[in-house]
Structure 1
Amino acid sequence: MTTNTLTVTTFKPDLRSAKGTTIQRGLKIRILRVVTLIFLDVIALTSAWTLAAYYGTSIEYLWAEQIPLLMFMLVTAISVIAVKGLYKPGKERRNYFGLIQAVSLAEILLLFIAFLYEPESYVSRSTFLIFWFCSVVFVCCDRFIFDVATKQLRCQGAIRHSVFLITDSQDQKNHIKLIEQENCYTVQGIADPSCLDLVNREATFEHLRKQGITEAFVSWNAIKNRLYVCWHFQTAGIILRILPMETDVCYPKSVFWMLGEVPCMTIPAPIIAGSDFWIKRCFDLSCSILVLLLLSPIYLAIAILIKLDSPGPVFFRQNRVGLHGKNFKIWKFRTMVNNAEKLQASLETNNEIKDGVLFKIKNDPRVTRIGKFLRLYSLDELPQILNVLVGEMSLVGPRPLPSRDVERFKTKHFIRQEVLPGITGLWQVSGRSDIDNFEDGVKLDITYIENWSLWLDLKILLETVRVVLQKTGAY
């Protein structure tokens, strides 16, 4: 098995952390499109309402005379259209059949609500049918007019998205032709896949930021096996579009769409890039301070029990490999005899991890009596709150490993070191020590990195409480 030497040059932030909070690039054009469509739909629906009131059967309590109900009608109809995704770009906003369905559903709902709101008022069939027919025709017409006007403006070079193409030289012509078919993009630059290599990556993203690139088209061959590149695009606020792609490939957080007749995959950038990570950091700090305040009596009790149980210090500090291969000292309550690390070499033959990367054995003779109890409920991990406070760790993330384990890593394993290590993680809540194959654990860590969100962190924390109380896989 080949080994890899750890080198630390300059400090880099967590993979999920942007250099600063960044508004998604190209957001102004997208907001302008949605606002314009809503404005046109409001005009269309109001016009339909007015015509229905004028040409329908004249009655004393006509809907059109009730301004609050008119406003409610507009809100309901616009909401139904939005929920069906008909304000999205591309073919979605030109889905006329979907528009007919949405408008019809909204007006049936309004008819029902009006009946409950004014059960004794008569609503003529002619008024309702005129309103429905005019609404459908006017909304579809406003979309058609919007599309024609948009195409004309884009032919003049306006309201286009600035994009960058990264693909192999032999595919560049085909991919440019494919992109130009959409008539909404301006290709501002082209590069080969080497621009995403480690040595070139920072310069590439700096160039994209300076050029004001809103979307990047990247061939599948250029991005596969480069999981971390997706996070770089996200934290830069740039939408990533992967093309063309194999039909059996699926990527976390991806959305499928069609570029002409070619299926492509989009990994959208968040509206405010980088904000989630800093919210995570604030959450870590707040929880850490709260835990220290609430559990200080437990910390004191554990410290006394450790001193009474065996000679040695209360805390155990060990070198662990953290973010980007940087070494740091992890804090734990001591659960083993004082010379435990020296005794490990004589126990290597008893290692129960199949591939030998990690070191784990049940009934470890080095563990003290109080240590077994602390490990059973993971209480020995509590001092790592101090590592969280100083920014060396997070509450949730891949567990930091000793140098002995990291030196046995293969190249593909180092993706774990691209994010802040955590006190708990997906690996820990999916079996803890019961997972006896390092590769299985790494897959869980990569799954966490690919699918990371604040909600996922919260679910893992809640699941950790359940796992600890049930003593699942603990030894």
Structure 2
Amino acid sequence: MTYSQLSEASLDLRAPVFSRVRKGGWWVRILTLFGCDYICLSIAWLIAESYISFEDFPWYTSRSSLGMLITILPQIAVMVIQGLYQTGRKRYDYFNIIKSLAFAHGLLLLILLCAKPVQFDSPSSLLLPWLLSIAFVCAGRFVVNATLEYMRDHKLIGSHPVFVICDPKEQEQYANFIKKENCYTIVGFDGYQALDRYNRKATIEQLNQLEVSEIFISWNAIKNRMFLCWLFQAAGITIHILPTEIKQIHKDVELSNIGGMPCMTFHCPLITGKDFWIKRVFDFCFASLFIILTSPVYVAIALAIKLDSSGPVFYKQTRVGLHGQTFEVWKFRTMHPDADKMQKELEDLNENKDGILFKMKDDPRVTRVGKFLRCYSLDELPQIFNVLRGEMSLIGPRPLATRDVANFSERHFIRQEVLPGITGWWQVSGRSDIVDFDQVMRLDLHYIENWSLWLDINILFKTVAVVLRKQGAY
């Protein structure tokens, strides 16, 4: 598997043009806090060494730099896991610091008991280093915070450039709240139209030109399009949602306080775009292995189609995929060759309520072999090749025909911002039994907003169960 084969896939909502490191000066914060914590913990253990003996510590010898490093790094690692190096007030959560250091010293005690269960009989020897570590780390964090506040007040260090998207009438109100935080400089405002489907690209380009690493968005501007969090995160930008009301919470949201105002924050990962490439690697590996193992099934189905009716083995149909781009989706042919022409005559018999999708339980265009293939979704197998080509993913919203997309409302186009899939929440929740497209949209939105590799694997297993039960298949 080569990089070029993987990168054939068009980049969807989860991926930037190139994977990149999160924007902003977060690395300065991390290095400063790391250095401060390391110095404080070193001082704490050196003072403790003057009062107690560490001869029971197999890795620790007097004034040993390596021993000190081995002792301190696990404590810092626990603090990292507990979020004590994140932005905002989390890094000054002193109660969390006490818990983290208690846990880290408990781990050291456990290691010593396992290494020397008989010889080591002084668990209390870790009490003094723990108390000193708490005192020095909390004091160090306090000094760093006070120093930063002083430097910001006296304009000795720059503040973070931020951009605000809200109604023009709200600009002054939100600006006053943001300025209270004393660490932001507002470099621009824009209205709700900046988030419209045709303006998003220009908005991201503008933010890149302004070197913005954080953005504030009014809830009224984003309440019906929470998927945009992916878009800004893929560009390396942290998102703060300015409140009016809260209806839907994203899985990674954090409630924070900006200038005394409650705010929802969506932190950007350190390495953006990793979600897309994890999914792409998984799709490519799974699809390649699947084709190798099931090649005899493909041959058998092709022979059955040829013997049952005249016409080609495969059926190609133009579908609308990522970013509204069309592509040819491959399926085993399950209908008579003139099925597309017959559909116009059958439109009045469409069982879908809103007319966006075309569904009939007893479709006269389906062949005998086609009914069997549809019953077990075997007609979808050739779409594995669409996955290899990067036009589709294993899991995602189903790509719809141009006839269906032509009936979309504006809110439906979120489906086109991620790679379409062979199966998804819609398929494992009833498939053709769901005749309301708004319900289909809710299922697709749930998948987009809660995506993870484990969710994909879960849907794959559910798909197997649904297919074997022939649920909603016709």
Q: Same fold (TM over 0.5)?
A: yes
Report the CA distance between 1:122 and its aligned residue: 5.0
Structure 1 388/55 Cα, relative in aligned 2: closer, same or farther at 3 Å? closer
1:37 and 2:36 are equivalent in the alignment: no
Instruction: State the distance in 1 between where 2:272 and 2:79 align.
Output: 27
Name the counterpart of 2:447.
448
Partners of 1:245 and 1:263 within 8 A in 2: no
**Counterpart in 2 of 1:73?**
71
Query: What SS does structure 2 have at the residue aligned with 1:251?
Result: coil
Tell me the residue number matched to 2:352. 353
Contact 1:53 1:62 in 2 (8 A): no
- Mapping of 1:263-274 within 5 angstroms? 263-274=262-273
Shift of the 315–176 alpha-carbon distance from structure 1 to 2, 3 Å rule, reads same
Query: Could you tell me whether the CA contact under 8 Å between 1:357 and 1:405 is conserved in 2?
Result: yes
Structure 2 unpaired stretches of 5+: 1-9
Match of 1:465 in 2: 464
Post-superposition Cα deviations, 1:28-75, rounded to whole Å, max 9, x if no partner, equal x2223223223322222222222222134x797589647677554323
Deviation at residue 374 of structure 1 after TM alignment: 1.0
- Contact residue 396 and residue 423 of structure 1 kept, 8 A: yes
> What is the deviation of 1:198?
3.8
- Which residue number corresponds to residue 117 of structure 1? 115
Alignment of 1:50-199 (within 5 A): 50-56=46-52, 65=61, 70-118=68-116, 119-121=118-120, 123=122, 128-155=126-153, 156-158=155-157, 160-199=159-198
Task: Find the counterpart in structure 1 of residue 218 from structure 2.
Answer: 219
Given that 2:396 and 2:424 are in contact with CA atoms closer than 8 Å, whether structure 1 keeps it comes out as: yes
Task: Say if 1:188 and 1:309 are closer, same or farther in 2 by CA, change over 3 A.
Answer: same
- Distance verdict in 2 for CA 1:329–1:131, change over 3 Å: closer
Q: In structure 2, what is the Cα distance between the partners aligned to 1:436 and 1:415? A: 19
- Alpha-carbon RMSD: 2.8
Deviations 1:3-30 (A, max 9, x none): xxxxxxxxx963334222222101xx22
Measure, in 1, the Cα distance between the counterparts of 2:110 and 2:412: 59
State the secondary structure of the residue aligned to 1:55: coil
Q: 1:418 to 1:134 in 2, by over 3 A?
A: closer
Aligned to 2:21: 23
Matched residue, 1:229: 228
Amino acid at match of 2:34: I
Secondary structure of the residue that 1:264 maps to in structure 2?
strand
Matches within 5 A, 1:390-401: 390-401=389-400
Within the candidate set 34, 42, 48, 1:46 is matched to 42
Letter in 1 for 2:133: S
Structure-1 separation of matches of 2:71 and 2:212: 40
Distance 1:412-1:196 versus aligned 2 partners, 3 A rule: closer
The one-character-per-residue Cα deviations of 1:372-394 (angstroms, maximum 9, x if unpaired) are 22112211111223333444333
Deviation at 1:221, TM superposition (A): 1.8
- Which residue number in structure 1 is paired with residue 405 of structure 2? 406
Counterpart AA for 2:358: F
State how far apart, in whole Å, the 2-side matches of 1:100 and 1:335 are: 65
Q: Distance in 1 between matches of 2:291 and 2:101?
A: 56
Structure 1 residue identity aligned to 2:331: K
The Cα of 1:121 is off from its aligned counterpart by 4.3
Matched, 1:367 2:377: no
Residue 90 of structure 1 aligns with an amino acid whose one-letter code is G
Runs (4+) of structure 1 moved beyond 6 Å?
A: none
Aligned to 1:317: 316
Residue 305 of structure 1: how far off its partner (Å): 0.8
CA shift at 1:323, angstroms?
A: 3.0
| TM-score of the aligned structures, taking structure 1 as reference length | 0.87
Question: Where does residue 416 of structure 1 map in the other structure?
Answer: 415
Q: Secondary structure at the match of 1:366?
A: coil
Query: Where does residue 339 of structure 2 map in the other structure?
Result: 340
Give me the whole-angstrom Cα distance separating, in 2, the residues matched to 1:83 and 1:304.
56
Q: After superposition, what is the alpha-carbon deviation per residue over 1:184-239, rounded to whole angstroms, capped at 9, x for unaligned?
A: 22222222333333444322211211221111111112222234533321221111
For residue 150 of structure 1, what is the amino acid of its counterpart?
L
* Partner SS, residue 186 of structure 2: strand
CA contact (8 A) 2:54 2:61 kept: no
Does the Cα contact within 8 Å between 1:52 and 1:128 map onto a contact in 2?
no
Q: Matches of 1:287 and 1:437 in 2, distance apart?
A: 32
TM-score by length of 2: 0.87
1:314 deviation in Å?
1.4
2 CA distance for matches of 1:84 and 1:13? 32
- Residue 237 of structure 2 corresponds to 238
